[in-house]
């Protein structure tokens, strides 16, 4: 193409090969996706989000804690009372949903970013599904037997788990107002 008649556009790169300042780091992005996904949760007490990423750094799935199909409007989010009437026996954990929602054949070799340390049942899914690493934000139930047994299983399966610390700014503002 003849470039002589083309209008000169300002070059924001300034010829630099360096990353744009403020460019989102990969792991910050994945945890931010998990946090954003958690916002879909209807649980009034704890909203959990998960984001599964493959070895090519591509997101293969997301999930949040939600009631199973058919129960969305019928099952209670209560934490206390008759066990059969609390959320605990019914809620599908974010990790379970993320694994079920995957757009890939499997999750072998993937990393899961989760906003809360996975419980023992989620650890089983992570291990048996072939996920190779867990990155978590909160460990607020670290003294609970469910978390302790989860860590025991992850250790036996040699799946590393690490707490997330942002590489860039800890707050990411997303504006979805069209104007
Ligand atoms: O691994 C997990 N994944 C997950 O999605 N959850 C969800 C289930 C519940 O909806 C919520 C925990 O509720 P609560 O903090 O009120 O006990 O978090 C909880 C855990 C572990 O506690
Ligand atoms: Zn769980």
Please indicate whether residue 122, judged by its CB atom, sits closer than 6 Å to ligand 1.
yes
Question: Which residue in this structure is represented by tokens 């649980």?
Answer: 43
Residue of the nearest CA to atom 21 in ligand 1?
Answer: 119
pLDDT value of position 9:
67
Please indicate whether residue 87, judged by its CB atom, sits closer than 6 Å to ligand 1.
yes
Closest residue by Cα to residue 95 from 141, 137, 51, 60: 51
ipTM: 0.99
pLDDT value of position 33:
98
Q: What is the mean pLDDT of the chain?
A: 94
Average pLDDT score over residue span 43-54 = 98
* Whether the Cβ atoms of residue 115 and residue 138 lie closer than 8 Å to each other: yes
Contact residues for 129 (Cβ-Cβ < 8 A; gap 6+): 99, 106, 107, 108
Q: Both tokens of residue 128?
A: 């048996």
Question: What is the Å distance from ligand 1's center to 18 Cα?
Answer: 41
* Whether the Cβ atoms of residue 92 and residue 72 lie closer than 8 Å to each other: no
Please indicate whether residue 91, judged by its CB atom, sits closer than 6 Å to ligand 1.
yes
The CB-side HSE value for 39 (13 A sphere, CA atoms) comes to 6
Ligand nearest the Cα atom of residue 116: 1
Sign of CA dihedral 121, 93, 78, 139: positive
pLDDT at 1 over 50: no
pLDDT at 131 over 80: yes
- Choose which residue among 47, 48, 151 to substitute to test ligand 1 binding: the one with the highest number of ligand atoms within 8 A of its C-beta: 48
SS3 126: helix
Average pLDDT score over residue span 41-68 = 98
Question: What is the Å distance from ligand 2's center to 122 Cα?
Answer: 4
Question: What is the Å distance from ligand 2's center to 87 Cα?
Answer: 13
Please indicate whether residue 114, judged by its CB atom, sits closer than 6 Å to ligand 1.
no
* Whether the Cβ atoms of residue 68 and residue 80 lie closer than 8 Å to each other: no
SS3 99: helix
As a whole-number percent, the residues of the chain with pLDDT over 90 amount to 87
Contact residues for 31 (Cβ-Cβ < 8 A; gap 6+): 51, 113, 115, 135, 137, 164, 166
* Whether the Cβ atoms of residue 90 and residue 70 lie closer than 8 Å to each other: no
* Whether the Cβ atoms of residue 159 and residue 134 lie closer than 8 Å to each other: yes
């Amino acid at each position: 193409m003849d470039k002589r008649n083309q209008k000169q556009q300002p070059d924001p790169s300034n010829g630099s090969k360096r990353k744009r300042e403020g460019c989102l780091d990969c792991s910050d992005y994945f945890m931010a996706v998990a946090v954003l996904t958690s916002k879909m949760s209807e649980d009034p007490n704890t909203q959990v989000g998960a984001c599964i990423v493959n070895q090519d750094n591509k997101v293969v799935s997301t999930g949040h804690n939600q009631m199973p199909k058919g129960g969305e409007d019928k099952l209670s989010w209560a934490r206390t009372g008759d066990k059969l009437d609390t959320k605990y026996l019914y809620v599908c954990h974010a990790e379970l949903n993320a694994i079920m929602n995957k757009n890939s054949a499997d999750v072998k070799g993937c990393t899961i970013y989760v906003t809360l340390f996975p419980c023992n049942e989620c650890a089983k899914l992570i291990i048996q599904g072939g996920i190779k690493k867990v990155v978590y934000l909160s460990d607020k139930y670290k003294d609970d037997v469910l978390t302790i047994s989860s860590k025991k299983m992850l250790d036996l399966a040699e799946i590393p788990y690490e707490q997330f610390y942002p590489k860039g700014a800890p707050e990411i503002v997303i504006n979805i107002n069209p104007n």
